[in-house]
Amino acid sequence: MKNSRLKILRLIAIGILTVAVLVFTFLDQVSAAEDIYFICNKNIPVNTLSRNDIKNIFIGKKTTWDNQQKITFVVLKTENVYKEFLLEYLRKNKQQYELYWRQMIFTGEGFFPKFIDSEDKLIKFVAETDGAIGFLSHETDNDTVKIISISN
């Protein structure tokens, strides 16, 4: 009798925990306040990327463009844009993103991303690096890089 009560209590506790997990998962999404604009090196053979492509590129899962050219991604680390990019495209906070890359480093499975702290430097890096992609907080008319549009 006591055992069956305990089992029922356990089931109720598991049920409450499961509901709590689902509720937190959906409530904890915060939409980004600002737009993010993507640029890439001019020799990259694409004009449009999906949000899924962006996610896979910046977590190091998609490592080459369709022509097998290596992807080099660069992260703009100015406080607000960086946070909003992570939230909007990767659903991560900065601690989670940096821990993810530490995990890659300490298992030998990847290199820490290149972080750049100014938009001008980022544009220059993308323009000069084959296969490079990065993001900005504003549109640019700089013709040394290509603007990438994002499809859902």
**What long-range pairs does 44-52 form, CB within 8 A, spacing at least 24?**
44/69, 44/131, 44/133, 44/146, 45/69, 46/148, 47/146, 47/148, 47/149, 48/148, 48/149, 48/150, 48/151, 49/148, 49/149, 49/150, 49/151, 50/150, 50/151, 50/152, 51/89, 51/150, 51/151, 51/152
The mark string for 91-110 relative to other proteins (x by CB under 8 A, - otherwise) is xxxxxx-xx--xx-xxxxx-
Structure tokens belonging to residue 137: 């907080």
> Does the footprint of other proteins cover residue 48 (CB under 8 A)?
no
> Does the footprint of other proteins cover residue 140 (CB under 8 A)?
no
**Candidate list 32, 36, 46, 62; residue touching other proteins; CB under 8 A:** 62
Return the number of the residue (20 or 138) whose C-beta is nearest other proteins: 20
Which of 4-12, 35-43, 48-56, 139-147 is the region at the interface with other proteins (rule: CB under 8 A)?
48-56
Where on the chain is the footprint of other proteins (CB under 8 A)?
Answer: 17, 21, 24-25, 28-30, 50, 52, 55-56, 59, 61-64, 70, 87, 90-96, 98-99, 102-103, 105-109, 111-112, 114
